[in-house]
Structure 1
Amino acid sequence: MLLKNIVKICFAGALLTIPFLGCKKFVEVPPPKTQVVNSEVFKDSQAATSAVLGIYINMLSDFDFENSGVTAFSGLSADELEDFNQITENLQFQNNALLPSNGTIANMWGSAYKTMLLINTCIEGLKASSSLTPAVKNQLLGECEFDRAFINFYLVNLWGNVPLVISSDWRQNQTIGQSSPATLNSAIIADLKSAQTLLTESYPTDGHVRPNKWAATALLARVYLYNNDYANAEIQADAVIKSGIYTPLPNPNDAFLASSQEAIWQLMPSQNIVLTTQEAVVFLGYTGNPPNFTIKNSLFNSFEAGDARKTDWITSLSYNNQFYNVPFKYKDIGTYGSTTPSEYYIMLRCAEQFLIRAEARAQLNKTADALVDLNMIRNRAQLPNLQVTDKATLLMAIANENRHEFFTEWGHRWLDLKRTNQAAPVLSLEKKGWKSTDVLYPIPQTDINTDRQLKQNPGY
């Protein structure tokens, strides 16, 4: 299978001449000494596909923000995790006291725009190509537009006003300013609608490791929900669920396996020695070492009795004769010399679509239908049906279910608290010194210093 060979692709050779720029600010990227893309790449379907597959390598190593950044650091920002080792920069997330000089913030920002550069380069090369078959060209363009929407979704929801980068031209990007969330969300929706038309319902390779039409639809459902467009959120989530590909949902212990039926989109670990997800390594560590992050007691104690997610997705690690609760969604820390990972990195999964549809239906006063969706997720967790009749109580129950279904997973809790205006009521009780401006991360100070077009977020 082609995807299994992507770890062997060398972009500095015949395929791409994009320099891998680490975490340098995207507007600081100098003009490359050679063309950004070798035009020959997009004349051949195999080479063009290899170039696009490189985006996923980049996402695993960088847009995941290194060491499970989105999951771990937004978990600290919310009420999910604590930093066991009391690392100064990590405590800034945990205490919602971030400084613009925080190195992790700079890495997260730079990694996102580095990946964006690669995506835009591929989009431009694909659009300019006249030799690829329509089927190949559409698939690859659809993947790139979906990928761009995915990254922009996290940029706008973590930082707010950010540059909307739609070109690989360093001259254009050098002077680009910030766009409003409304503009960014419009661009995200446009990319996802286009991806829906370009991608097919079937996956282009074995497994669910490259986006299909339903991946674009699933992310679009989330974006509509975040923008309070409940009617469209329901329509899109309903389409994913009724596709019949992802249901019935597997039991919690099987949700994150490579073969997970629930996975709408997942990435295959591509480390050269140990094939494992970053979450497994970061949260489980290695025997004898202290944990990196631990589950907050408030989260651990909030699960209902009998909730399978508590027993299946949280485990205890022993260190210095004490036990600490840590996330256990990913259980395989890898075996040296292994060639087949047992777990793939979940980017989107179907349980979210049930909760999106439930919330949208509740907001649309379709209480009975919303309750059916909510109880689908509860039953999978071996919990009994809820009987709720009023809208406010139902919405609280859905929020609670989201908390327990998606803890320590791609920032769901942090973003949910913010979008529902619950960040201040919840986190001000958990953390001293909480300020309303803490809902957005600071733009890296190095970027502020070198780009007069960028303005710092309030409170920093």
Structure 2
Amino acid sequence: MKQKLIIISILVVGITTILSCKKFVDVDPPKTEILTSEAFLQDKSATSAVLGIYANMVNDNNFINSGITIYSGVAADEFASAQDPEGLQFEKNQILPTSSIINSMWTGAYRNLAQINTCITGLEASNTLTPAVKAQLLGEAKFSRAYTNFYLVNLFGNVPLVTGLDYKQNAIIAQSNSTDVHKAIIADLLDAQSQLSNTYPTSGKVRPNKLAATALLARAYLYVNDYANAEIQASAVISSGTYGPLPTLTNTFLRGSIETIWQLLPLSNYSATQEGYIFLRQATTGGGYYFTSDLLNSFETGDNRKTAWIGTATASGVTYNYPFKYKDVGQYLPATVTENYIMLRLSEQYLIRAEARAQQGNLTNALSDINVIRSRAGLPNFNTTDKVTLLTAIANENRHEFFAEWGHRWLDLKRTGTVNAVLSAKKPTWKASAALFPIPQSEIIVNKSLVQNPGY
């Protein structure tokens, strides 16, 4: 079946995203005349178009809203899968290219990109928008494209780098080298930095500002081992004073948390985050996903993150430990939810800067950064004069600060080159090729230019 992309629904309604889709590669030709002449004539309708990007993100369970957290966590050493047969594929790192989860992740990402690129094309072509509004919206769209491409390339490796609306070209587009995708991510974020305002365009940090682009840029530079620029960007976020001092562990994931750099609103006042709903609901039945003993036993004595951010439940005589960062189950609570979906937060910037500084030999200031994170967790200051020891400590802080959050552990193991050593010691079914998820077989059948990742 062809994917149906209805431009007017996306761009004018805003909160109504792309209709049900099966294949990204079969997007119908965009109605460019309608796009340019109607949706981007006025500030209000153009803003609605960009807001639709965020609605699409939070509505996409298997790519943006919970899927990356769950399935990357299972692929690493965070979660075990109690019942889900497809989850067991990820746990054993024996994912089939026909997996519905893999297909949903891929099509969800490219559905996001189709919507984002539609907005970028329309915004760039418009000459009737208020210049400041046009710049802000372009910055938001390019930031969103970078965010989507970041997870695509780090989950799948070489992926199609789609920036246009030519449906014929998109139907046969080949994969770009992952290095080129990372370059495109950085280029989009540099553009976003120059276009986004210093302040948030609306309350609640639910639309990105310049510092959100700066935070993601710091991460992007870290992933390509550009440590000098990673330090510069992370320092800009930290020194702004906008997101600190770090709140208590209990307040970190609340809607009004000072630490939040960017977050997504729920689609309804009667439902909070998808992760909160999934993890809290399954905790009462013992099903779904629960923490491995390996993760639970890795915490230092006295680490308050273990008690504040991990819940315990007993079902059928078995005790399960589950993520308890989000505590608002949503649908069964009053209409006013207490949590949004956090996409970026300040503590990552401290750990990015700590790692960047350590890699450059600045151990003293790297220790200062890591100890900001440890202090909030109730741990004593860490001290060492050895670079390797410090980098190991930073990796451990990342593991315990960002467990069950955006596949952080899975991506860290891969980018630091430790995934084979760590997971081969814990999983008898591990193989090196499992570090990349497979390209969906259904996409390869349709687009003959796609090449399956090794090992599948």
Q: 1:284 to 1:83 in 2, by over 3 A?
A: same
Asked if the contact 1:55–1:118 (Cα under 8 Å) also holds between the matched residues in 2, the reply is: yes
Partner of 2:158: 161
Partner of 2:3: none
- Deviations along 1:212-241, one digit per CA (max 9) or x if unpaired, are 001101111001111010000000000000
Paired with 1:66 and 1:55, the residues of 2 have a C-alpha distance of 12
Measured in 2, the distance between the counterparts of 1:97 and 1:451 equals 24
Asked if structure 1 preserves the Cα contact closer than 8 Å seen for 2:36 and 2:125, the reply is no
Counterpart in 1 of 2:262? 265
Residue 102 of structure 2 aligns with which residue? 105
Deviations, residues 146-183 of structure 1 (Å, cap 9, x unaligned): 00000000011000110000012212211211100111
Matched, 1:414 2:395: no
Measured in 2, the distance between the counterparts of 1:198 and 1:324 equals 47
Which digits, 9 at most, give the CA deviation of each residue in 1:299-321, with x for residues without a partner?
A: 01111111111001001122113
| 1:423 corresponds to | 419
Partner of residue 4, structure 1: none
For these two proteins, the number of residue pairs brought into alignment is 449
Q: For residue 207 of structure 1, report the CA deviation from its aligned partner.
A: 1.3
1:208 aligns with: 205
Whole-angstrom distance in 2 between the partners of 1:316 and 1:76:
18
Structure 2 residue corresponding to 1:444, chosen from 440, 447, 454: 440
Residue 155 to residue 337, structure 1, CA distance change in 2 (3 Å): same
Task: Map 1:214-293; keep pairs closer than 5 Å.
Answer: 214-271=211-268, 274-285=270-281, 288-293=284-289
Deviation at 1:48, TM superposition (A): 0.8
Q: What is the identity percentage for the equivalent residue pairs of Structure 1 and Structure 2?
A: 56
2:423 matches 1:457: no
Q: Which amino acid aligns with 1:104?
A: I
Asked if the contact 1:100/1:442 (under 8 Å) is kept, the reply is yes
Change (3 A) 1:169 1:156: same
Contact 1:67/1:282, CA 8 A, preserved across alignment: no
Secondary structure of the residue that 1:40 maps to in structure 2?
Answer: helix
| CA distance 1:409–1:385, change in 2 (3 Å) | same
Deviation of the 1:252 alpha carbon = 1.2
Select between 355-364 and 312-321 the one with higher mean Cα deviation: 312-321
Q: Measure the CA separation in 1 of the matches of 2:192 and 2:22.
A: 29
Does structure 1 retain, via aligned residues, the 8 Å contact 2:173–2:447?
A: no
Match of 1:96 in 2: 93
Q: 2:55 aligns with which of 35, 54, 57?
A: 57
Tell me the TM-score normalised to structure 1 length: 0.94
- 1:256-335 to structure 2, matched below 5 A, reads 256-271=253-268, 274-285=270-281, 288-335=284-331
* 2:365 counterpart residue number: 369
> What's the CA shift for 1:67?
6.2
Contact kept? 1:63, 1:115, Cα under 8 Å: no
Preserved CA contact (<8 Å) 1:16 1:38: no
CA distance in 2, matches of 1:285, 1:78: 23
CA distance in 1, matches of 2:15, 2:374: 49
Distance 2:78 2:300 in 1: 16
Instruction: Report SS of the residue matched to 1:352.
Output: helix
Tell me the residue number matched to 1:40: 38
Cα-to-partner distance string for 1:84-131 (whole Å, 9 max, x where unaligned): 11x221111010011111110000000000010000000111111111
SS of 2:412's equivalent in the other structure is: helix
Name the CA shift for 1:18/1:122 in 2 (closer, same or farther; >3 Å): farther
Q: 1:286 deviation in Å?
A: 5.8
Counterpart of 1:141, as a letter, is L
DSSP 3-state at the match of 1:37: helix
Letter in 2 for 1:443: I
SS, match of residue 62 in structure 1: coil
1:195 aligned onto 2:195: no
What is the aligned counterpart of 2:351 among 355, 365, 381?
Answer: 355
Seen in structure 2, the aligned counterparts of structure 1 residues 17 and 398 have a Cα distance that, compared at 3 Å, is closer
1:364-387 CA distance string (max 9 Å, x none):
000000000000000010110011
Gaps of 5+ in 2: 1-7
1:263, CA displacement in angstroms?
0.5
Q: CA deviation at 1:283?
A: 0.9
TM (norm. structure 2) is 0.95
Shift of 1:63: 6.5
1:68 aligned onto 2:56: no
Cα distance in structure 1, aligned partners of 2:14 and 2:362: 51
AA in 2 matched with 1:173:
N
Change (3 A) 1:223 1:419: same
